[in-house]
Structure 1
């Protein structure tokens, strides 16, 4: 006899119970999947870090991706704005000798001008382009994987209705901002990545963790919409959305 499938309330309770600190997505295994960009950001990051002498990872989250680099540079620093993530990042980066600095996303950072030959940033909430240019020494490079406009917008629309696209996310805006900051683009490309949610518990945890998809999300506020999506998944199968990712590599001219 097959087990009774979990109810809507049971799945929602699971999604609510999972902690959202750090940037670890292992809980989603078997419940949600997301394609990875063809360029392989972790591999690129490891390569660039192995050739750097001084590097900073901006908005590092819990440091989970940075912690995978096989060879850290002699000087490795990371910044993070969300207090619960700062302690997680310090634990994850300690084996690499990395230092974590608590700093607001768009603040002037406590580093001297031209301190780094590599600035990295994966999925920044916002990119402060003039500050990136200030931190880079001449000939230094930025490597960043950005969240593209309308990412997982199909899910956001089902839960909260149509949301305006953020023009400060697209490739045209990135090219303009990088150029205005005095950086030369070396690479700029975008991909749409299939993202699949197998149950409503995964949706709840995702929206609690990735807070910019549906700003102000709570289960109580969107309970009816969640219940409707739960019925849709039961009837039609997993819900499919598309994450947009943009790879940016830029250089500060000599």
Structure 2
């Protein structure tokens, strides 16, 4: 495709929930290189869990794939357009979907859940501890602050504001709140953009990555990347991920 067509595609391609199938073959993340499997970390605990809360469920894609779910299962979502998508998918499975705000407050009773999970969703450690039952477990995989910094550099954009967010910071916050961190790991893996349309779509759905992104403002850099990609040189960036499990001891 020509440059203008790819840019238009990136700006208009529908995107629902957190279904990254639209990026098939265009943005490729080597997630198999991670030394852990988040889905397996969650799945292996489900048979022993009577209540589950999924933070930032998106369209409920991953949570639904884990069925059968505990008898008491709920999910939160902070992006308003995803809420009806998640409810349509999850309510038939008996899952309550709760809309939340940007403050990470959880409109749920104290001590509600034995297991809270979060894949790439922000959280408040104090709220986690309040909502977890005594002895309950928190599992998370997070996008670290160094994530895809190569994209920002390629565009000449500022580094994102959460650049210091990493495993050590997350562990420190949880321990200060009284959690016991039982397992932790951190990794860097490659992520490759094969066309500028995929890059524009990615930046459209992750507005925190380059907050002032605009195809006109960054037009010169995007055209240069397009010319580079057409000659068989995709944009390869480094994805930053970390994961941990923590226990509420009381």
The two structures have a TM-score, normalised by structure 1, of 0.92
Match of 2:23 in 1: 28
Within 5 Å, which residues of 2 pair with 1:2-41?
A: 6-36=1-31, 37-41=34-38
Task: Quote the Cα distance in structure 2 between the aligned partners of 1:51 and 1:114.
Answer: 17
Q: CA deviation at 1:70?
A: 3.1
Q: CA deviation at 1:97?
A: 1.3
Task: Quote the Cα distance in structure 2 between the aligned partners of 1:50 and 1:122.
Answer: 20
**Does the 8 A contact of 2:145 with 2:160 survive in 1?**
no
Moved more, 92-101 or 75-84: 92-101
1:203 partnered with 2:199: yes
Q: CA deviation at 1:10?
A: 1.0
**Does the 8 A contact of 1:46 with 1:71 survive in 2?**
no
Match of 1:138 in 2: 134
1:88 partnered with 2:85: yes
**Does the 8 A contact of 2:104 with 2:123 survive in 1?**
no
- Kindly tell me the number of residue pairs found equivalent between the two proteins: 248
| Aligned-CA RMSD value | 1.6
Moved more, 72-81 or 154-163: 154-163
Match of 1:67 in 2: 64
Secondary structure at 1:56's aligned position in 2? strand
1:219 partnered with 2:215: yes
Match of 1:169 in 2: 165
Task: Quote the Cα distance in structure 1 between the aligned partners of 2:114 and 2:181.
Answer: 16
Secondary structure at 2:64's aligned position in 1? helix
User: Displaced runs of 4+ in structure 1, greater than 3 A?
Assistant: none
Secondary structure at 1:76's aligned position in 2? strand
Q: Deviations over 1:180-213 (max 9, x none)?
A: 1110001111111110111111111111112222
Task: Quote the Cα distance in structure 2 between the aligned partners of 1:30 and 1:192.
Answer: 20
Ranges in structure 2 where 5+ consecutive residues have no aligned partner = none
From the superposition, tell whether residues 69 and 164 of structure 1 become closer, same or farther in structure 2 (CA, over 3 Å).
closer
1:149 partnered with 2:145: yes
